[in-house]
Amino acid sequence: MNPILFYLFSILMLGFGIAVVANRNPVASAMSLVVSFFCLAALYVGLDAYFLASIQVVVYAGAVMVLFLFIIMLLDLKAEQRRKFNKLAIGGGALVALAFAAQLVGVLGSHPRGDKPFPELKLPVGESLNDLQHVGETLFSLHTLPFQVIGVLILVATIGVIVISKRELK
Amino acid sequence: MTLTLNHYLLVSGLLFSIGFAGVLLRRNIIIIFMCLELMLNAANLSLVAFSRFNVGADGLPNFNAQVLTFFIITVAAAEVAVGLAIIVALYRARQTTHVEDITTLKF
Amino acid sequence: MTVLNFIVLLPILNAIAIACGAPARKSALLSAWTQLALTIVAMCGYRGGFAYGSTWAVAPEWGLNLTFGADGLALVMLLLTAIVTVAAVWVTPKIEKRENLFYACVLLISGGAAGAFASVDMFFFYAFHELALIPTFLLIGIWGQGERQVAAWKITIYLAVGSMILLVGLAKLYLAFPEGARTFDMIEMTKARHLIPAAEQGGIYIWLLVGFGVLISLFPFHSWAAPAYAAAPTPAAMLHAGVLKKFGLYGLIRIAVPLLPEGAKVWMNLLLVLLVANILYIGLVTIAQKKLDWMLGYSSVMHMGYIFLGIAAGNAIGITGASLLMLGHGLSIAALFAMCGYLRQTSPSLAFTSLGGIAKKAPFLGYAFGMAAFASIGLPGFANFASEAMVFFGAFKAGPAATLDFSSIQLATVCGLWGVVISAVYMLRAYRQIFQGEPQANVAAFKDPSCSIKWSVILLLAALMVGGLWPKSMLNFIQPSVEALIGK
Amino acid sequence: MNNNEIIPWFILLNPLITAVLILFVFRKNHGTAATVSTMSAFFGLVGSLCAFTLAPTHTLVLWIDIPGLQIPIGVQLDHLSQVMLLVVTGIGFLVHLYSTVYMEHDESKARFFGHLSLFMFSMLGIVLADNFAMMFIFWELVGVSSYLLIGHWFTRDAAGKAANKAFMMNRIGDFGFMLGILMLWSTAGTVTFKGLEAATGTLTTNPMFLTAAILLVFCGAMGKSAQFPLHTWLPDAMEGPTPVSALIHAATMVAAGVFMLARIAFLIGLSPAAALIIAWIGAITSILAALMATQQDDIKRILAYSTLSQLGYMVMAIGLAPDPSGGPAMFHLFTHAFFKALLFLGAGAVIHALHHEQDIWKMGGLSKHMPKTTVTFAIGTAALTGFPLLAGFWSKDSILAAASEKSTPLYIIGLCVAVLTAFYMTRLFVVAFLGKPRTEAAHHGHDCPARMTVPLLILAVLSVIAGFVPEKWFFSAHQHFHWNIAIPATIAFAVGTAIAFKIYSGKDKDPIRVSAFRNKFYLDEIYGAIVAGTQDVLAYIANAVDSLISGIVRLAGMAAWGVGFLFRLLQFGNVQGYSFVFGLGVVGLIWFVVFK
């Protein structure tokens, strides 16, 4: 991937990530999240994971975001009133997050194995990477059982959502 | 300059930190929920990066990691659905989405 | 399936059936009587050794088998269980809330106790006792009276801790055998007892002593007993004090005495001090009690001291006496609690000062209570006397003869003899205050109990008298087993 | 089994069957109960008379039989038990007969007769016992039946208390008794009297041990025969119906201690120290009780203290002359049983006639209205006080003879007691029967029906002639008549009687007041204080300590609760707070794992 594109999308993604946290208006937060996810999808493309990139767009930027927006609208959430800040809490939270980031930098800085460029893919001449086929093969050959379990999980989630929502309608 | 694994991991880590900071700082439970999604995606990013980094003998990325990411996205989608349903139920019961107002766990 | 399996399974299955909705009192009574009949059949058909054996492999890789089998001692304990169960079910008054569950709990205690006594496998020996403890807690906590919650918590925590300590002791005992010889089968263990290194025995014995001791209310682990019995509903008090408490003593006789003779020597003096405290100190505490149910609770703690004395003697006479005393004490305390329960139903308070002259109003109760009280203080004619005498004979013989320089166990015997005086003090005082004198105003409407209570008390007293007038009837079962256990 | 073996078993079991029958079948059928009980007592007497002619036998069944411990239930019919059987069943029958009238209107007559039969069974068990353990069993059973009979009128508070006291005092004695049995058994390896007799060699190896064992066994006798310091229950036991006092607390049960000592006379003979202590305890009891008797007002209590005093005499005699055939002690027991039963039954007749008036100062002049009772009572008094040629004269002389041989101080005490006996009995007779009636009730006294008077007459006859039984009934060696004993004894009698006549004839109230005697040397109060001061205080302390133990246990529970409370503070309920702590934990963990 072109490093310039990487930096562009990374900065965009992190920037909109910060916007998610910083915006007062939930709708604006949600829209920022969408942008952030789009950038992430772009980063996936840069990592030759085209299938995941498309899934990312469809599931997150599409379905999940619609859900979020739908709920925000449904609950009719207004921009947060400027509440009294609990400075200690804010400071503490920021401190923990920063400490976490700093530790990360420290770990990565002392981790030479990761400080290498990505190896080239060996592809038959003239063909591009058919990652969808490979993901599918891996999924259905090696991870069939988890796949099935995920199916059940989604079913359970569906039923659960209905039950939770229904109860309130009584 | 070339991109290394550490670049991606750093970005992933920063995104995670942003998400974690959001969880700690925001009071609106929906936004906290969004931040959780951010954290999940940060983890996904590092997984995909590892997948691309560990090219096997056949010259292809390690697709196991991508399958794992796929699973995470699936579970996350289900989680969002359930979580939002709970939030709606909570809102109906309490008329609030502020975590500070929800302290029933206290003794 | 042997008759023994039926004896154990019958009450348990019946409890389940009752919990599922079978007519409570009728099926419970039927089950109890059948259990008694089967036990008597088993005793009649007994020809020595471990009889009625049966085994199901539960976890062969760990050597865990559900093995049943009974020797004479176990049969006598099963007889005690069956008789007290019949009486306990029979005296149960009308239960207002959740009657089915109540009877199911009562039968579960009986089944658990029977299972423990009939188990040859050490693991299930322990597990059946736990099975019986849980319904005991429930009975006290749900159907009890007075400070039932406090009492239920107290007994639960105490006995759970005791059971844990016991479990550690049993595990240590299991591991003390060299690898290859390890088994849960108590018969095999007894055969292989020489494999336990003498040096390790003391360390195991103290765990068993404390573990069993908590279950038996050995001083100073006794303070659960009186409040629990005061709060427990009548059948629970009868079954626990009469039967379940004997599990600990039975365990000591079955496991600690034969397997750890060296360990017993190490802790002999400690045991003697504790049992003398059980007799003298608890005896004094009993004198100070002002209410009948508390007094009976403490008296049952006190009498444990005599059984411990017999076990401490370590010879055939003492242990045989202790075993017979388990039967005698179980029957007499069950009878006393049965009548105490009736008094509680009919009178507002069990304080001695608020009762008086009941014998005039209820002659049967006066007689029966007097007999049970006399039995419990060791009057001849009842099993308690024969057994206490044997305990004293056995304990005294454990020391040197023809010298005034008494050994510690002989001194303990002297203290135990004085305990007989103490028990007469509190029993007769209680009897005089409750039953003698002019009838007080608040017992003016007092009447003799109904037939079911009458006959269950008669059943208990009759069994006591059989054991007392003709102790050989029981000793023929107990004595060979004890000889086999201590290895003569 | 032949006759020899069946008859003793019949004598033993007959009252048991009767008691069971009455208590379980004829509970409500008072008339039948009385008849059945009296018939059974009569059969017992007949059986005893038959048994008296039999050769000594010994049969047993093993009651407990395990290696190392054999306890038989056996009947040993020998000379000692044959004589004792006669006393027990003879007086027992007469008292039964007497009770049918005395207890006629009692509302729980059946219970009374059932217990009376139970007592007969227990007492006969003691008499026939061939071993210590069996004797102990029946020893306890007589204690129970005595408890039941003293407490017959249990609705009276005093009766319940007296019954309790009797039982407790006996229990204390039995503590020693059992310990003594254990000591003898552990050394000799047997509890049978014959076995012990055979094992005297082993027993005498440690004389101190033997002495201690004998004295401990004697503790049992001290309880049962009411010897000082365990004597205080006997006067209180007079709360029971008078026939019971006559049978149990005068003639038979209280004599069981003496009988038991006679049974083990062969052992006492081996230990002179033990014999001496026993003799002195008997002497002390005898003189103290006689002193107390001089100041009592209740007719039954006077007789009770007199019984105590005479029992002391017997015990003293055992200590002085332990004779396996019984010796002077058994002789005195034999004669005393008749005249003391006579006196009690006479007193019962008086009480019955005066509608339960027991204070002698409220009687007086009864001789006019109750001639038969008066005459028989006079004979009883004379026999007790040692009027020459009556029963008491002979037996007392034999005791005094033994005392004069062995120990001068005891001989002097014996003479003093003889004087005091004559004094208080004469006082009783003069105040109650002579002079003028002092109350309305005393005016209307009358002789009782024949079933009550006949036993009195029979006993009066026996009191006169009992002293003339063949010498070999009681003595293994030939006894000489000693003028030097008989004369002082007669003088003692004469002095006591004369003084009492002088002081009391024609008096309306007691001219002498010695509060120490009247209040039984304050022993009851002292015992009460000791019990309150030791047992009750100890019990109180023990109870407090026990609450402390409970408290310590509760402290453990409190500690768990406190820790829980501390941790509960951390549950502040804010989700973000939790995640903050969680994040802090993760950071800390990473730092610890990676950077540390």
Q: Give the helix/strand (H/E) hosting D316.
A: helix D299-320
Task: Show residues of chain D in contact with C288, CB under 8 Å.
Answer: 536, 539-540, 542-543
Considering only A88-92, C381-385, D158-162, which range has the smallest mean pLDDT? A88-92
Q: Is chain A touching chain B, with at least 3 CB–CB pairs below 8 Å?
A: yes
Cβ distance D576 to B27 less than 8 Å, yes or no, reads yes
**Residue C60 falls inside a structural domain:** no
Whether the link from the prior residue into C220 is cis, omega within 30° of 0, is yes
- Kindly report the three-state secondary structure assignment for every residue of C422-456: HHHHHHHHHHHHHHCCCCCHHHCCCCCCCHHHHHH
Q: Is residue C419 part of a domain?
A: yes
CB contact under 8 A, A103 and D583: no
- CATH code assigned at B10: 1.10.287.3510
Q: Chain D: list its partners (3+ Cβ pairs within 8 Å).
A: A, B, C
Report residue A77's pLDDT band, with 50, 70 and 90 as the boundaries: confident
Contact C144, C231 (CB under 8 A): yes
For residue C14, being part of any structural domain is answered with: no
Would you place residue D509 in the very low, low, confident or very high pLDDT band (cuts 50, 70, 90)?
confident
Phi and psi dihedrals of D447, rounded to 5?
A: -70, 150
Count other C-beta atoms under 10 Å from residue C94's C-beta: 7
Q: What is the mean pLDDT of residues C348-364?
A: 84
Mean pLDDT of chain B: 88
What is the pLDDT at residue A167? Answer: 64
What is the overall mean pLDDT for chain D?
Answer: 87
| Residue A118 domain-assigned (yes or no) | no
Burial of D529 (0-12, 13-18, 19+ CB in 10 A): exposed
Query: With 0-12 CB in 10 A as exposed, 13-18 as middle and 19+ as buried, what is A109?
Result: exposed
Q: What's the rounded Cα separation, in Å, for the pair B53 and B34?
A: 29
Q: Residues with Cβ < 8 Å from D296, sequence gap 6 or more?
A: D302, D305, D424, D518
Q: Is residue C321 part of a domain?
A: yes
Q: Tell me whether residues A103 and D591 touch, CB distance under 8 A.
A: yes
DSSP string, C59-108: EGGGTEEEEEEE-HHHHHHHHHHHHHHHHHHHH-----S-HHHHHHHHHH
Is B57 domain-assigned?
yes
> Among the listed ranges D159-168, D440-449, D500-509, D550-559, which one has the minimum average pLDDT value?
D440-449
Contacts of D123 (CB under 8 A, 6+ apart): D88, D92, D138, D142, D252, D253, D256
Phi, psi of C351 (to 5 degrees): -65, 140
Q: What is the maximum span of chain B, computed from C-alpha positions, in angstroms?
A: 58
Average pLDDT for D344-350: 89
Question: At CA A94, angle to CA A92 and CA A97, rounded to 5?
Answer: 110
Q: Is residue B106 part of a domain?
A: no
The verdict on residue C74 lying in a domain is no
Structural contact between residues D485 and D401, judged by C-beta atoms closer than 8 angstroms: yes
Closest CA to C312 of C415, C392, C194: C392
Domain housing A133: 3-82+129-165
Query: Which residues does residue D60 pair with via DSSP β-bridges, in sequence order?
Result: D74
| Closest chain D residue by Cα to residue B28 | D576
Is any Cβ of chain A less than 8 angstroms from the Cβ of D540? no
| Mean pLDDT on C473-483 | 90
Which of A83, A86, A96, A103 is best to mutate for the D interface (most D CBs within 10 A)?
A96
Task: Report percent pLDDT > 70 for chain D.
Answer: 100
Asked if the structure places residue A88 within a domain, the reply is no
Residue B107 domain-assigned (yes or no): no
Q: How many CB atoms lie within 10 A of CB D478?
A: 7
Contact (CB, 8 A) for D314 and D333: yes
Number of domains into which chain B is organized: 1
Q: Is residue A116 part of a domain?
A: no
CB distance from D575 to chain A under 8 Å? no
CA pair distance D488, D496, nearest whole angstrom: 12
Eight-state DSSP code of residue D549: H
Confidence of residue C15 (pLDDT cuts 50, 70, 90): very high
pLDDT of residue B46: 93
- Look up the domain containing B62 and give its range: 5-101
B2–chain D nearest CA distance, Å: 28
Q: How confident is the model at residue C318 (pLDDT cuts 50, 70, 90)?
A: very high
Q: What are the respective helix, strand and coil percentages of chain B, to the nearest 5?
A: 75, 5, 20
Residue C395 in domain: yes
pLDDT tens digits, one per residue of C187-239: 888 888 888 888 889 899 999 999 999 999 998 888 888 989 999 999 999 99
Minimum distance, in Å, between the CA of residue D591 and any CA atom of chain A: 8
Q: Is C353 among the domain residues?
A: yes
Helix (H) or strand (E) holding C362: none
Counted domains in chain C: 1
D441: pLDDT confidence band, cut at 50, 70 and 90?
A: confident
Structure confidence by residue, pLDDT tens digits, C127-144? 999 999 999 999 998 998
Please say if the pLDDT value at position C257 is more than 80.
Answer: yes
Q: Could you tell me the pLDDT band of residue C86, with boundaries at 50, 70 and 90?
A: very high
Give A13-65 pLDDT, tens digit per residue. Answer: 999 999 998 888 888 999 999 999 999 999 999 888 899 999 999 988 888 88
- For residues D193 and D440, the model is more confident at D193
Instruction: Tell me the mean pLDDT in the region B80-106.
Output: 82
How far does the CA of residue D550 sit from the closest CA of chain B (Å)? 29
Query: What's the pLDDT at A79?
Result: 61
Q: Which one of D581, D590, D592, D596 would you mutate to disrupt binding with A, by most A Cβ within 10 Å of its Cβ? A: D590
Residue B71 in domain: yes
Contact D68 C397 (CB under 8 A): yes
pLDDT attached to residue D434 = 83
Residues ≥6 apart with Cβ < 8 Å to D34: D99, D100, D103, D109, D110, D113
Of the pLDDT bands very low, low, confident and very high (cuts 50, 70, 90), residue C125 is very high
Per-residue pLDDT at A145 exceeds 60? yes
Peptide bond into C227 cis (omega under 30): no
The answer as to whether A16 is a domain residue is: yes
Secondary structure letter of residue B56 according to DSSP:
-
Cα–Cα dist C338/C453, whole Å: 8
Q: Calculate ∠ Cα B42-B47-B49, nearest 5°.
A: 95
Higher pLDDT, C146 or C108: C108
The pLDDT value given to residue A168: 52
Radius of gyration (C-alpha) of chain D in whole angstroms: 30
Instruction: Give the range of the structural domain holding residue C480, as residue numbers without chain letter.
Output: 267-488
In a domain, C455, yes or no: yes
Q: What residues have CB less than 8 Å from C363, skipping those under 6 apart?
A: C448
Cα–Cα dist D486/C402, whole Å: 44
In the predicted model, is pLDDT for residue D203 greater than 80? yes
Query: Does residue B55 lie in a domain region?
Result: yes
Specify the pLDDT at position A124. Answer: 81
In the prediction, which pLDDT does A8 show?
93
Are the beta carbons of C403 and D172 separated by less than 8 Å? no
Gap between the Cα atoms of A14 and B18, Å rounded: 8
Looking at the structure of chain A, the number of domains it has is: 1
**Average pLDDT, rounded, for chain C:** 90
Segment 28-87 of chain B within 8 Å of chain D by CB:
32
Summarize pLDDT for B43-54 with one digit per residue, the tens: 999 999 999 998
CATH of the domain at A150: 1.20.120.1200
Angstrom distance (rounded) from CA C225 to CA C140: 12
Among A103, A107, A111, most D C-beta atoms within 10 A, so best to mutate, is: A103
